[in-house]
Amino acid sequence: MPHDNGPHDVIMPALGMAQETGKIVAWQKSEGDAVKTGDVLFEVETDKATMEVEAQADGFLNGVRAAAGEDVPVGNVIAQIGSEAQASEPVAPAAPETGSAEALPEGAEVIMPALGMAQDTGLIVAWHKALGDEVAAGDILFEVETDKATMDVEAGENGYVAALLAEAGEAAPVGAPIAVISAEKPANPVQRSQADAAAPATSQTKADSAPDSKPEPEPAKVPQAPAPKRTDGRILASPKARRLALEQGLDLKRLVEAGHPQPYHVADLEVLKALPEKTAGSAATASRHLTAELSTDGFAEFAAWASESEGLNDTNTLLAGLAAASLGQGEATITVESFDQARAYAVPAGAFSAITLAEEGATPELILRDLRMSRVSTVALGAEEAPVLTLSYAGSRLVVTLECAGHHLTAAQAVSLLSEFAGRVEQPLRHLL
């Protein structure tokens, strides 16, 4: 950094398009020389030619830190022009400065030199001086390996090795300080490695670019609330989640009902699979549960009449017949469950005498569960493969319950079915006639 009274930095200028360093061919002024603005300070070689660089201020040339023959990164301070000759004035560190420099002993920083065009870092092969050693400017301080060769680098300053900031075997970015040479013998010499270096490498590859740059200014992140439930019945889900759900017979609506936040991704299918099975039954489709209570039970009377006058002794056949008639669709297959038995009946339109047992494996349109002989009074067992009509007694009253899934029957159909059946059970003969 420039001193308060403003010594003028002499900087390696950028002269060519692809130029990262400039080679000092020769100094025309020496340390301590008086210079005037416009005086040629040094010659620099770039990709195209050798150029003379003039002084931009009057004063004395101090702190020359790059020798003839050296390649210096463009923009680096290579000397200063001060108000008086100060042969050993410590010179401001060359940019870029690392964050750790503040804690370092005072003195001239030795930087990793840029030795080739393509070089971003230099590998320190060996230090030739140890911490605290006295050094002369021309002493070899360390050896550096570049893409082309190994080179000795001189201390560049007289003094003592006050800090070593890279270990042998480590690479340091070009331009980074790797040592400090102090005028006085250091009280607390500092030893660090590049791995400790706080500052990032200066390399300009985009992959290394600062993490604080963002591709686009984004508004501050708001915690993402679950998407509000949609009322139009559409579910937000990824194409893959939808496809897999379809292939595996999974119903995404169950996730909606379970309150799982949308949109759904493949991972959410695992949540869906883990939902309790019971929920699966009732939640898979909106279930329907309807009950009718009958004050008079005409069925027992009817069963007796049928047995006597028509020779129909199987009560289950009668129930199947009434149930099928309630469906109002002509032919039907009805399963009747009673006493732990389930029988499927084929019920044609017309007389009860034509009812036969259904073929094995026939799918029932309706299940009739006869619990009149049991102690169960009310049921809520959930939907089965087909709508279920249950007959039970609550005290002296006959109760008819219809349970089914939403897709079995619409609400209106369910009400109609239960009404029809209850009516038939209440007054079987009237309906038969």
Partner 1 sequence: MREITLSQAVNEALAEEMRRDETVFIIGEDVAEAGTPFKVLSGLVEEFGTARVVDTPIAEPGFMGLGVGAAMTGSRPVVDLMFGDFIYLIMDQLCNQAAKSYYMSGGKLNVPLVLRTNLGATRRSAAQHSQSLHALVAHIPGLKVAMPSSAYEAKGLMKTAIRDDNPVVIFEDKLMYNDKAPVPEDEFLIPFGEANVKREGSDITLIGTSSMVQVCEAAAEILAKEGIEAEVIDPRTIVPLDEAALLESAKKTSRVIVVDEGHQSYGITGEIAGRINEKAFYHLDAPVLRMGAMDVPVPFSPALEDITVPTPEAVAEKARKLMSGEMIHAA
Q: Provide the binding-site residues for partner 1, judged by CB under 8 A.
A: 16-18, 20, 47-48, 117-120, 147, 204-217, 224, 227, 236, 238-243, 262-263, 265-268
CB of 349: closest distance to partner 1 in angstroms? Answer: 47
CB of 283: closest distance to partner 1 in angstroms? Answer: 22
Q: HEC string of the chain?
A: CCCCCCCEEEECCCCCCCCCEEEEEEECCCCCCEECCCCEEEEEECCCCEEEEECCCCEEEECCCCCCCCEEECCCEEEEEECCCCCCCCCCCCCCCCHHHHHCCCCEEEECCCCCCCCCEEEEEEECCCCCCEECCCCEEEEEECCCCEEEEECCCCEEEEEECCCCCCEEECCCEEEEEECCCCCCCEECCHHHCCCCCCCCCHHHCCCCCCCCCCCCCCCCCCCCCCCCCCCCECHHHHHHHHHCCCCCHHHHHCCCCCCECHHHHHHHHHCCHHHHHHHCCCEEEEEEEECCCCHHHHHHHHHHHHCCCCHHHHHHHHHHHHHCCCCEEEEEEECCEEEEEEECCCCHHHCEECCCCCCCCEEEEECCCCCCCCCCCCCCCCCEEEEEEECCEEEEEEEEECCCCCHHHHHHHHHHHHHHHHCHHHHHC
User: CB-wise, 237 or 425, nearer to partner 1?
Assistant: 237
CB of 205: closest distance to partner 1 in angstroms? Answer: 6
User: CB-wise, 265 or 407, nearer to partner 1?
Assistant: 265
How many whole angstroms from its chain centre is CA 282?
A: 34
User: CB-wise, 207 or 412, nearer to partner 1?
Assistant: 207
User: CB-wise, 147 or 184, nearer to partner 1?
Assistant: 147
CB of 265: closest distance to partner 1 in angstroms? Answer: 5
User: CB-wise, 16 or 99, nearer to partner 1?
Assistant: 16
User: CB-wise, 215 or 361, nearer to partner 1?
Assistant: 215
User: CB-wise, 247 or 277, nearer to partner 1?
Assistant: 247
User: CB-wise, 25 or 266, nearer to partner 1?
Assistant: 266
CB of 44: closest distance to partner 1 in angstroms? Answer: 17
CB of 225: closest distance to partner 1 in angstroms? Answer: 9
CB of 215: closest distance to partner 1 in angstroms? Answer: 4
CB of 250: closest distance to partner 1 in angstroms? Answer: 15
